[in-house]
Structure 1
Amino acid sequence: MTRSEWGKPSEEALRTLDIMGDIEWFGLDVGYDDISARRTPPHMIWRYKTEPPGFDEWVRSAVSSFAGKVKWTIDKPGRNWVLLPQRVMDEVAKSPGADAKKIYHAVGVEDPVFAEEAISDLRPLFSYLRSKWGQ
């Protein structure tokens, strides 16, 4: 995915999330570190104005059943949902209190192929979620 294509995953992500309710806040990092000009694993953070009933159980099940190039996970550590590759979540869990951006950068530097695979999973993941939501 080139830098000029960045808006397309954001549009697709928003279209996917809109199916379940009104989004109050949204952010998608598609995996490009401007400082080092390297790929990093992507992640998405959002919250709904009012969370749809049953969304927690449903979305966890849907994300865990997605068969992409990398394993994905979803969490809600506070107000916001976070969707990211499981490997990144595991690395963050090993270093409580560490700067998550530094961990994303380190994973991308250590394994750029993994970062590219995770980035290439975004569109299929959003499509899969829409299909699970019946859209």
Structure 2
Amino acid sequence: MSIFGFSQPLKAQKNYPIVQIEDFHQNGNLKTQKVFNTEKYINSGKLVLEDYMEYYNNQQVRLKFTIKENKLDGELVAYWNNGNLKRKDLYKEGKLIEGKMWDKHGKEISHSKFEIKSILKS
């Protein structure tokens, strides 16, 4: 079971607020933070995700990334639930520039593609 809540607008861009939506684990700890630009909503009728952070139920960061024009842009970082890095990728306009992945014990492993389709639909 998840609990949803909406925060106040975070900042304004061209008189349109940025809105953050938060989802919580059953234990009350933060599960996800999704930041949307409402200017793009007004123009397209769809909420457009710009920043995403996901947390394990112990409040450890699980995943964070930024999206521009529905494409990954900037650093994507994921962690194992023990706090070790799982992956660290750098994207530019949706294209992977470089990336590395590690197993739960910190040993580097072969890199695989990251999919965000299910996150963008939520």
TM-score for both structures, normalised by structure 2: 0.29
Q: Which has the higher helix share?
A: 1
Who wins on radius of gyration, i.e. which is larger? 2
Answer 1 or 2: higher relative contact order, Cα 8 Å, separation at least 6: 1
TM-score for both structures, normalised by structure 1: 0.27
Q: Which has the higher strand share?
A: 2
